[in-house]
Structure 1
Amino acid sequence: MTDPNDELFGDVMETSSIEAAAEYPAVVVGEPYDGAVIGRPGAAEAPDAIRQALASVKTHHFEAGPVGRLADVGNLPIARETVAETQDAIAEQVAPLYASFPVFLGGDNACTVGNVTPLLDDATGVISFDAHLDCRAGEPSSGTPYRQLRDRGLDALAVVGARHFETSTPYAEYLDEWGTVVTAEAVGRDSEDALDTAFDALDGVERIFLSLDCDVLDASAAPGVSAPTPGGLTTRELFSLLHEAASDPRVAGFEVVECAPPLDREEMTVRAAARAVAHVLAGVSR
């Protein structure tokens, strides 16, 4: 049954191109790549699945009102060479999207390096909603993006939703040198204070990038990820955090990574990812 009063994201999403990005307040682009994933693959199938789920979501947010016009510029033609070459190719392709507000549909967490690199000419920080720190040493992978980005000039990092017993001590100590960790427990105690802590760590940066690794959600809410674990955020907590974070005028872009539809159950993770996109777009439009 259809209702003529229903406006869906599928109604306001126009098909366009990277070259026309500046004509839209926000643009969506897919990154069908999971060649760097450490755990279980499947994220390469996420862009189209998230698009399909988002298309049937209504556009109205009670505080921000309806999300308006935006564009879908399709999927990047990602060459599956080395991980480092893929990251550099992504960076080159997505740079023009920052004439708008880009929403990247990954793909695994290695894509983050390419997505953030075009911002690094300015003082830049990242808020990473993730169960893990992703500061591993070694060859580029889905576990190395923030060490790589620091080497490229990233100024600050705050990881929100990190879990105890999901990282190694050397990586926690590495991040302590230049970043901030806000645990899932801290979010559960006081989500507003948790987000304030993250933004305090980014004080002084000019541009902020928001990254959502879907495994920040509890495994009961997001089974379709590479590394599902218990003790994570609820969808309600995540959506509120993303919406508030996106309202900061320094926020320049957003990504969803590590959603793996082949591993999902009843499209729970895909639908959560789609609504995360909706909440960010509503936050940006405030």
Structure 2
Amino acid sequence: MLNPPTIAAPKTDKDDPRLGGWLRSEVENPKVVIIGFPSDEGVRRNGGRVGAAQAPDEIRKALYHMTPDAEETKLFTQLLEHAMDIGNVQVKGELADDQEALADITASYVEQGTIPIILGGGHETAYGHFLGYAKAELETAIFNLDAHTDVRPLKDGKPHSGSPFRQALKYPDGWAESYLVAGLQPHVVAKAHVEFIQKEGGSVLFRDETNITSISGFFHQHSSDRLMVTFDMDVVDQSQAPGVSAPCTNGLPVDLWLTAAYLAGRNEQVTSFDLSEFNPKYDRDGQTAKLAALTIWHFLLGLSQR
């Protein structure tokens, strides 16, 4: 069901340690686990440009070479002692089945209180991520940082990268308690989709409403016991994130994006995280890969300070 990472840990010494030296495939009492979901079949179905399936190991290449935080080294390394990277889900191209496979793995960790960090893949990753909660029979709120609502109907009855949150909100038994999406670009969002979210009890924040105050307020004010967080890289301005499935003109600045990842890590209610829509095929000098890895680094930094 899982393929081990193909990225070798960098050679380091005690004076220059790197994250790849800590991220083993098995540890006792894990607090955090990295899982790759190399799928972009949902992007293809949604009419996007494919290539995100290559993302998980490209993110690892950059992440493994990063160091623990130089200012909070002790806390960061204490977390890394209980972190592992178990590799990639063996996707087969049948998206619904692949999402079920991701869900089975995710459920096993959220049940025991380990925090999964899922490296997508297209944003179809988010539905497999959510299904993990449904399989574990755990209610969760959902926070999505994204230029798009991703609540489109299925296409010919099939899921895709634009449908995960409609699927979650309509899932039987109501495991999705609420849905907030921030960073929306008003010129690529249908009014009907906004109304659907609001009808389902969710909330939206458009690009100009999305700032540290609004994001921090949500992380500290929502009433759910659990919060599933999903970051879609297409919300970042394309000058800073050219390698994505759907580049964004006038997207969010990098400092806001990274601070949001840190705040998610710090928040006690956040029980899982995924990063989606990085597309190495269209990257420039590894710029987006490094940003994706730095996003995971900031989330880990926040986790280490809980």
**Same fold (TM > 0.5):** yes
Q: Over aligned residues, Cα RMSD in angstroms?
A: 2.0
Paired with 1:216 and 1:61, the residues of 2 have a C-alpha distance of 29
Amino acid at match of 1:183: F
| Corresponding position of 1:281 | 300
Give yes or no for the alignment of 1:179 onto 2:202: yes
Counterpart in 2 of 1:167? 189
Distance 1:261 1:146 in 2: 25
Q: Which moved more, 1:140-149 or 1:55-64?
A: 55-64
Counterpart in the other structure of 2:107: 95
The one of 245, 251, 267 equivalent to 1:226 is 245
Partner SS for 1:94: helix
CA contact (8 A) 2:76 2:300 kept: no
2:270 aligns to what? 251
Q: Which amino acid aligns with 2:85?
A: D
Q: 1:104 to 1:5 in 2, by over 3 A?
A: same
Matched with 1:117 is 131
Match of 2:35 in 1: 29
Q: Which residue of 2 aligns with 1:12?
A: 22
| Residues 1:57 and 2:29 aligned together | no
Contact 1:225 1:263 in 2 (8 A): yes
2:130 counterpart letter in structure 1: V
1:72 and 2:85 aligned? yes
Identity %: 30
AA at the equivalent of 1:269: T
Give 1:55 deviation, angstroms.
0.6
The structure 1 residue matched to 2:233, chosen from 214, 239, 245, is: 214
**Ranges in structure 1 where 5+ consecutive residues have no aligned partner:** none
Report how far residue 123 of structure 1 moved: 2.6
| Aligned-residue offset at 1:5 | 2.5
Measured in 1, the distance between the counterparts of 2:260 and 2:88 equals 27
User: 1:199/1:134 Cα in 2 relative to 1: closer, same or farther (>3 Å)?
Assistant: farther
How many residue pairs get matched?
A: 277
Runs of 5+ consecutive residues of structure 2 not aligned to the other structure:
1-11
Q: TM-score, normalised by structure 1?
A: 0.90
Amino acid at match of 2:187: F
| TM-superposed deviation, 1:13 | 1.2
TM score, norm. by length of structure 2: 0.85
> Aligned partner of 1:13: which letter?
L
Q: Alpha carbons of 1:247 and 1:142: their partners in 2 closer, same or farther (altered >3 Å)? A: same
Q: Any runs of at least 4 consecutive aligned residues in structure 1 with deviations exceeding 6 A, and if so which?
A: none
1:191 and 2:212 are equivalent in the alignment: yes
How far the C-alpha of 1:183 sits from its partner, in A, is 2.2
Tell me the residue number matched to 1:155.
177
